[in-house]
Amino acid sequence: MHGWLDNAGSFDPLMQLLPPTTSLLALDLPGQGKSSHYPKGLPFHITEDIVSLRRIVRHYGWKKITLLGHSMGSTYSFLYASIFPNEVDKFIGIDILRPFALDPELFAQNGGKEIDDIIKVIQSKRDPPETTIEDLASKQHEGSKKSISLESSRLLLNRGSYISKKNPGLVGLNRDVRLRFMFMHSIPHEFLIELASRIKCEVYNIKAKGGMYYEKRSYYQETMDVIKKNAKKMEYYEVEGTHHVHLNTPEYVVDIIQKIICDKDG
């Protein structure tokens, strides 16, 4: 599962380096890539994508799964592994391990404005802006604080953009604008620690040295310590690269991931 505002194309460079016998189902999560948007009039909540993942697993009739997630996709994997602990074999999280902690004070201070902003976007009838593919790639590159290279930005736009029907030569982002609001994607730290204690599968966290921390680093360490006590295995790796290390420089992570997913003993 890909990260926030990315799409399934995020894993294309990695798949090119894995053995041709490797089978991986990469998802365009709802509202991103080529997947349809959620119904109009509602904000997103973190649990909705977990329901989507559950429906996919049940559709294929899988009894045991390995989850590979980057950033937001990793947080979804964390949640899924905690609430369906007997159905996950391995969980590989790239750069991020869990959802970021909800700060009650920040919630109280900014919650009202965030809700009003969400309603404003939901009610807007304005068409999405359209521009050139190079302009979109440049904006995505800069918007990610250069975590996504320009080349990787162009790759993501293969699935993340549409060709304008009104303005030949121009393109627009096909993502659901409601995805910009991460207000309902945080969970209290104590809640997350309890969830971490319920994870039973093998857990692997690949952290980029130039990656991101969205919360206190002590929370990160505490979560890993709790997982170690109850999970079958907990391994931590540090590699060179940015938050999008698997996309920009998959050669930094491919050997680790290949060993995990191809070795039956982990």
Residues acting as catalytic residues: 71
Contacts of 136 (CB under 8 A, 6+ apart): 153, 157, 161, 171, 173
Token pair in block for residue 10? 């995020």
Task: Specify the length of the chain in residues.
Answer: 266
Q: How far is CA 103 from the centre of its chain?
A: 21
Is residue 84 within 8 Å of 199, Cβ to Cβ?
A: no
CB contact at 8 A, 195 and 82: yes
CB-based contacts of 78, cutoff 8 Å, min separation 6: 69, 91, 93, 97, 98, 99, 195, 196, 199
The H or E element that residue 242 is part of is: strand 233-242
* 8 Å CB contact between 90 and 22: no
Is residue 249 a contact partner of residue 149, using CB atoms and an 8 Å limit?
Answer: no
- Listed in sequence order, the residues at least 6 apart from 203 whose beta carbon sits closer than 8 Å to its beta carbon are 81, 90, 91, 93, 227, 231, 233, 234, 235
Q: Which residues pair with 69 in a beta bridge?
A: 93
Q: Are 164 and 130 spatial neighbours (Cβ–Cβ below 8 Å)? A: yes
CA distances for 13 relative to 16, 103, 138, 153, 245, angstroms: 5, 36, 20, 12, 10
